[in-house]
Amino acid sequence: MSGEILNSARNILAYAEELKSFGSQLPQNKKIELLNKIDQECSNVYRRININQNDLSRAAAPNLSTVKKPLVLPKPQIVLPKQREIPVSAVSQTVAVPEFTSIKFKNVTKEEKKKLISGISLNLDELKDFVKLQKAKAKGKVTKERIEKKDYTIYQPSSVGKTANKAMKKFADRLINNYPNFFKVMFGHFRMVEMEILSRSYVSMILFFTLISFPGIFLFFLALNFAFHLNILVILFIAFFGMIITFVGFYFYPASLISGKSKKIKLEYPFALVHMSAVAGSGANPISIFELIADSEDYPELRKEVKKIMNYVNLFGYNLTNALRNVAATTPNSDLKELLNGMISTIETGGDLKGYLKEKSNDALNTYKLDRKKQVEALATYSEIYTAILIASPLLLLVTLAIINSIGGGFGGLSVVTIAWIGILGALPLLNVGFMFFITSSQKGI
């Protein structure tokens, strides 16, 4: 038994000498193999010693009172040579472990940055702004109010409105109080188009520009009097008439924007409704539907109406149905008004908002497809009219003028050459411009 222990000790010393002699040149797998063998031999030595102890205890068992306590041999302490650090280059290439603190992993290429940013749907400018904000926050230059996201929007005062208020606010307030019915219609149009200025400030601007228009127009025509030689009374009449036109133009300006705003909302309405239907289908709260639309940049005109809803809820404390009701009363688009009123009824009665929005989105998309089909058919008709009137007719006219010129004569006291130049330089350009305006105006309503 002692011979086996001695052999195990010799093997341990041999393995240790091999580790010590080769050092860093020893392959990693060979090094692990030798360490496992040393551990196995140590276990064998310890097991043999325990067996010897058990044999001694069994031999002394018949006379336990006279036998001394068996001698417990300590576990052999085999001192192995100190393990040297093996560089990564000496390790097999198949077991290479990357160092995540190295420069290789800190310096990411532009292509890798783009892939990472696109993978998390993050804008690079937003990432830069976030880094700047965090640095400023660490230096204590950013207050808590700047970091917190506001759920509402506040219009910034206009410099022109400030100037007009300083000069005409008293007169504007007096006019509004004395003639409320006169300004009531304008204020109704004012709320529909959502002009970024207070209604009373707008009245101050009307009075301010009306007042300065009179001397401005008078001085302008007085400077041109050297060419036209007009009478001073005529210039005064023109200035007074221009002042009236200025007042009327400002008064009806909000009403002129309603039609354009309604048409822009109509173009964005089907796609925004599909977006809202998808959000509602995910099980989100109704207010979250409008938050996502307000944060989206895809609906520039419709999001203004949605921001009104968010302002009513987050700034003025309205519940969602009352906010929808107020916006539905002022929106210029009839389809959006119908949608908001339908959402109010669905929410208040506990109906299926997801199904309602899905049905409305399908109807809106079908309507949009029909409108685009009508537009294409109308353009096809207009192209035939254009070909007949502005391409074939001028060619026929030129051939006719050439025949008349060959036999001699004129038309209406004008020569053939004069008529041809009038048609080429005057009539054709005017007809083309008029046709373009006609197509543009006819397609706006579709």
Q: Is 0.85 surpassed by the pTM of this model? A: no
DSSP 89: G
Whole-number pLDDT of residue 61:
47
Whole-number pLDDT of residue 193:
85
The string of pLDDT tens digits covering residues 418-430 is 888 888 888 888 9
Whole-number pLDDT of residue 13:
75
Q: 305, 198, 313: which is closest to 254 by C-alpha?
A: 198
Please report which helix (H) or strand (E) contains residue 233, including its range.
helix 232-281
pLDDT tens for the chain, 446 residues: list them. Answer: 556 767 777 787 777 777 666 655 666 677 778 777 877 777 676 666 656 555 545 544 444 444 444 444 444 444 444 444 444 444 344 444 444 444 444 566 777 767 766 665 556 666 677 667 667 766 766 554 444 455 555 666 678 888 888 889 899 999 999 998 999 889 888 888 877 788 888 999 999 999 999 999 988 888 887 767 778 888 889 999 999 999 999 999 999 889 888 988 998 999 999 999 998 888 888 888 998 898 888 898 998 899 999 989 988 889 999 999 999 998 999 999 999 999 999 999 988 899 999 999 999 999 999 988 988 888 888 888 888 888 888 888 888 888 887 877 666 677 888 888 888 888 888 988 988 888 877 766 55
What is the C-alpha to C-alpha distance for residues 228 and 235, in angstroms, rounded to an integer? 11
The amino acid that residue 79 corresponds to is: V
Whole-number pLDDT of residue 321:
92
- Would you tell me the crossing angle of helices 159-178 and 180-193 to the nearest 10 degrees? 140
Q: Both tokens of residue 66?
A: 């006279």
What is the C-alpha to C-alpha distance for residues 173 and 175, in angstroms, rounded to an integer? 5
Q: What does the DSSP assignment read for 379-430?
A: HHHHHHHHHIIIIIHHHHHHHHHHHHHHH--EETTEEHHHHHHHIIIIIHHH
